[in-house]
Amino acid sequence: MSIFIIAEIGINHNGDLGIAKELIDVAVDAGSDAVKFQKRTIDLVYTKEFLDSPRESSWGTTQREQKEGLEFSLEEYKEIDRYCKEKSIEWFASAWDLKSQKFLKQFDLNYNKIASAMIVYEDLFREVASEGKHTFISTGMTTEEDITKAVEVFRSANCPFTLMHCQSTYPMKDEDANLNAIKALRDKYNCDIGYSGHEVGLAVSFAAAALGITALERHITLSRAMYGSDQSASVEPGGFRMLVGAVRKIESAMGDGKFGYLEKEIPIAENLRQHLKWKFK
């Protein structure tokens, strides 16, 4: 089974539909299987006190203005839906509240996502599990108990899922990746395991691909110098093309693990061993 590659746009579009489309184009050009966004109902996710607090941004002088500036409207999501269909790429989003999850249902998407921050939100992941769509569940900032609870809920609902090993630091240091957790999660939960990376560079993602993950998610950006909290942990267009291409090569190179010679080796072996008068039997 080929690794399902997710280009995480998240909020790197900075509330600009044009940028969102450019990022979708980046994902399509690289050969990604899907793009992912984030959906929040601002007044449910943040407190009034926080939203009223000061924050300078291109949208205004408060946290509310900044957060609302990053959210797409229904009409903008309809255009994203249309554009992704035109480009023949899947899209979905991680909802951060129940209202946002219900909002996303109207698009009849094929996938759901539980963000690391939301894996402790039981009402939300029960709602998501009830939809029965394949769900990617990130495991950053969690305990074993948190993961086990989510797995139990999704299995009880007979909802297919992939656990996405993740460390929620932005950007993540390579030494914090703990890629051995991929095998540990697979052994404990006997399910598909993916990797959601926030590191700078590509090497850790290459290693994850070689460890048998079934899904890989990385944030993408037009430029890491752009405004936004996730930009520094994101991959630029050239790097993302390199990532997808290398992952596909790694998949091809892994093979089936069986011992034996290749048919292509026979004439080479007979030539190099001719002084032994040796022939394959």
- Residue 261 in any domain: the answer is no
Reported as a pLDDT band with limits 50, 70 and 90, residue 274 is: very high
Report the CATH number that the domain containing residue 83 is assigned in CATH.
3.20.20.70
How deeply is 73 buried, as exposed, middle or buried, from its count of CB atoms within 10 A (0-12, 13-18, 19+)? Answer: exposed
- Residue 69 in any domain: the answer is yes
- Residue 271 in any domain: the answer is no
Task: Determine the pLDDT at residue 1.
Answer: 76
- Residue 266 in any domain: the answer is no
pLDDT digits (tens, 9 = 90+) for 147-195: 999 999 999 999 999 999 999 998 999 999 999 999 999 999 999 999 9
- Residue 173 in any domain: the answer is yes
pLDDT digits (tens, 9 = 90+) for 209-225: 999 999 999 999 999 99
Owning domain of residue 173: 4-256
User: How many Cβ atoms are within 10 Å of 209's Cβ, its own excluded?
Assistant: 22
- Residue 281 in any domain: the answer is no
- Residue 221 in any domain: the answer is yes
**Total number of domains constituting the chain:** 1
Pairing of strands 90-95, 134-138: unpaired
Task: Determine the pLDDT at residue 264.
Answer: 93
- Residue 154 in any domain: the answer is yes
pLDDT digits (tens, 9 = 90+) for 49-105: 999 999 999 999 999 999 999 999 999 999 999 999 999 999 999 999 999 999 999
Pairing of strands 215-219, 192-197: parallel
d(CA 222, CA 236): 6
Q: What are phi and psi of 74, to 5 degrees?
A: -60, -45
| Dihedral sign for Cα atoms in the order 107, 23, 128, 133 | positive
How deeply is 177 buried, as exposed, middle or buried, from its count of CB atoms within 10 A (0-12, 13-18, 19+)? Answer: buried
Cβ-contact 234, 274 below 8 angstroms: no
